[in-house]
């Protein structure tokens, strides 16, 4: 059923650049993907999404949330493995995580790590709009690099739409 773990940026960034009242076809197709159970997320991502996306897209997210949001301790999924991955990432990538480094800008935060951990647990790719750094940095890492290091596929809007055979 689910095919991608959704990061907030996959919806929030395009909606700012391509508003639904102008890019009607694009957003109607994204709403179809939402309603079709294509995406899932965790409570950390839902906290960012909830109320931050308005209109029909936001309404669709809210309607889908109950069946698509993974919460630790709730439901039939391997949340103990998820928590194990969270602990491992906090240790392995602590030098990059913004909350551990003075809220450093331009690097992963704990919510970014959480959606990558969910993807790793569910063996799904991550959908986000983050772009990798052009040069590897000892101080900064974004979701695409974290996915790469963890062997998880990363899809931006264009790549995901191509994978789903959608045009707008």
- We report the CATH number of the domain holding residue 89 as 3.40.50.1010
Tell me, yes or no, whether 51 lies in a domain. Answer: yes
CA–CA distance, 63 with 57 (Å, rounded to integer) = 10
CA–CA distance, 131 with 148 (Å, rounded to integer) = 12
What average pLDDT does the chain have?
Answer: 94
Tell me, yes or no, whether 144 lies in a domain. Answer: yes
Tell me, yes or no, whether 41 lies in a domain. Answer: yes
How many domains does the chain contain in total?
1
Tell me, yes or no, whether 90 lies in a domain. Answer: yes
Tell me, yes or no, whether 151 lies in a domain. Answer: yes
Predicted confidence (pLDDT) per residue in 101-146, tens digit: 999 888 999 999 999 999 999 999 999 999 887 777 778 899 999 9
Q: Can you give the residue range of the structural domain that contains 21?
A: 4-163
**Residue 54 exposure: Cα atoms within 13 Å on the Cβ side:** 3
Tell me, yes or no, whether 53 lies in a domain. Answer: yes
Strand partners, 4: 39
Residues above pLDDT 70, as percent of the chain: 100
Place of tokens 């079709």: 36
Tell me, yes or no, whether 168 lies in a domain. Answer: no
pLDDT at position 106 is 86
pLDDT at position 167 is 86
């Amino acid at each position: 059923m689910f095919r991608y773990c959704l990061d907030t940026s996959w919806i929030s960034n395009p909606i700012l650049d391509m508003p639904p009242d102008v890019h009607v076809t694009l957003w109607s197709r994204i709403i179809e993907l939402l309603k079709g159970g294509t995406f899932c997320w965790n409570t950390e991502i839902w906290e960012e999404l909830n109320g931050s996306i308005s209109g029909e897209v936001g309404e669709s997210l809210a309607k889908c949330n109950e069946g698509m949001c993974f919460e630790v301790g709730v439901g039939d999924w391997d949340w103990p493995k998820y928590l194990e991955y969270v602990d491992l990432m906090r240790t392995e990538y602590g030098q990059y995580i913004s909350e551990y480094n003075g809220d450093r800008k331009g690097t992963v935060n704990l919510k970014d790590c959480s959606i990558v951990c969910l993807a790793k647990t569910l063996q799904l790719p991550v959908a986000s709009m983050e772009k990798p750094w052009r040069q590897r940095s000892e101080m900064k890492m974004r979701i695409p690099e974290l996915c790469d290091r963890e062997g998880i596929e990363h899809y931006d809007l264009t790549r995901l739409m191509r994978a789903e055979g959608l045009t707008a």
